[in-house]
Structure 1
Amino acid sequence: MRLHSLLLACLISSLLLLGGCATNSASNFKLSNLAKSDIDSVTDMHIKEVHKLCRELTIKLYKRNPRELAKAPPGTTVKKRIAQIFSNQRIKGFTELNGAKSTKAITLSFSEEYPGDRVFALMAGLSSMLFAAYNYQDEFFLLDEIDQQKLYNSARNLETVAWQLNNRRNSTGERYILSNGVSENGIRNLSYERLFGKLISLQDMMALLIADTTNRNITRVVQSAASMTFLPI
């Protein structure tokens, strides 16, 4: 019980630090909150923070890779891409990606044969993978369940994606998608790595909290971040 309380306190503190100070709780109260446990409320906060970080990552990747947005259908903007990435297409797959979603869409973004918008394929895949880890729900209530193994697996998959983003190259030696780099002054830009680090830590902390709450174990997998395979969600 002490571990559960400690994990809950740590996760709430992390979310508040990442998302800024909370507003007045009374003004944000909803009747539906009566049907939520503490874990449900923390899960909801967590999902919002994950969405926020994914949106931030999408914007940064498009700024770094304008050539990818140029491959999109005419009139497509970053704002429209974000709306697509977080739409219900995450559940059934993206038409532009031939129905691919989750890790299949991520794999497509690092395929030499893929001619389309790689940032879209990557972030559409990440978004749908993380959404699947939460049973395709944006909000949780008392009778809802969540699988700690899916959360853990998604964290390991994020590590794999972060490695591929920094290291996967095409036949000419160019990275498929630009991210971290070094400026002309020799200053390293690790902002993308930090975003992935936040996402990974949130998923891991949530997995531990759910495992402790439900008295279920997490099957830990020894897998190199350089692995080309993803764990099932």
Structure 2
Amino acid sequence: MPRTLPVFTAFWTRRPLLLAVVLMGCASACTQQQGRDIAKQFSNGKPDEFFQTSVDRMATLGMRDNLQSLYLLMNKLYLRNPNQWRQSGYPDVVSAAREIRKAIENRQPLPALGDRRDLAALSYSLSPEFRGDRVGAFIYAIGSMLVTAHGGRTQFYISDSINPQFVNNAARNIEKATWLLSQRQDANGVLLLFSNEISEEGSNLSFAVEFGKIVARLDLLTQMLDERYRRIGLNYAQSLLLMNFLPVQ
């Protein structure tokens, strides 16, 4: 027993040192991993991302996803209403869809709608008086409205501003348009466009689900924008309260 006591004592004496070495090794490994993760993020990023705040980046990604959802809805509507693309004047459905996308993203007018854009185009596309590719007109109208609500842009940077009220209004307009899409009929009582379906054979609510995703993204962006501008106002109010000068660089 007397011969093992010094060894036991020495072990416990050196234990804090061993623990410190282990912790330092773990911290070093974590730091190296974090460094590799940061380097990977920078390498995967685009140069223009350096000119975007987190909200700008979120708005850009949200717009990209909303347009993709809209194009998915367009393809689904063409499948449910195959007679519509034939009225577009294009040789096939792929060509018709491509031209609608181009018109939305380049902010070009759609011949079937004349000079109508945004809300005027949306109302006209769901009216019995409209003659032409109703699917293309409807999708174009919503896409045009989305871009307009975001200040006429699809990508956003530090110098850009987005009005949260307009984004919120766009979300509410899409909710109304979704309801109108399922209700509007022609003089014979036939739906102008077939979308969601609930019957004895089954249910297809995929249109409502995809429109719901767009609305959810718009509502989230609205909240983020409200908080951003609220914080700007609070920071300014705090600087006045504390009599601090505001930074100029």
TM-score range, shorter chain: 0.7 to 0.9
Gap regions ≥5 residues in structure 1: 1-23, 217-233
Residue in 1 that maps onto 2:140: 124
Are 1:215 and 2:230 counterparts?
yes
Structure with bigger gyration radius: 2
CA RMSD, 1 decimal: 1.8
Gap regions ≥5 residues in structure 2: 1-39, 232-249
Are 1:70 and 2:86 counterparts?
yes
Structure having the higher helix fraction is: 2
Deviation string, structure 1 residues 49-100 (Cα, Å, up to 9, x no partner): 111101100000000000111111141x333233322325663522231121
Are 1:138 and 2:150 counterparts?
no
Residues 92 and 99 in structure 1, CA contact (< 8 A), matched pair in contact too: no
Task: Tell me the TM-score normalised to structure 1 length.
Answer: 0.76
What fraction of aligned residue pairs are identical, expressed as a percent?
27
Residue in 2 that maps onto 1:3: none
Aligned mate of 2:213, from 190, 198, 202 = 198
Q: Which moved more, 1:171-180 or 1:109-118?
A: 109-118
The 5 Å alignment of 1:45-194 reads 45-75=61-91, 77-88=92-103, 91-183=107-199, 185=201, 187-194=202-209
SS at match of 2:218: helix
- Paired AA for residue 45 in structure 1: L
Higher RCO, Cα 8 Å, sep 6+? 1
Deviation string, structure 1 residues 110-152 (Cα, Å, up to 9, x no partner): 2212221110110010110001111121211111100001100
CA-CA distance at 1:183 after TM superposition: 5.0
Kindly tell me the number of residue pairs found equivalent between the two proteins: 191
Residue in 1 that maps onto 2:48: 32
Residues 80 and 195 in structure 2, CA contact (< 8 A), matched pair in contact too: yes
Q: Which moved more, 1:112-121 or 1:26-35?
A: 26-35
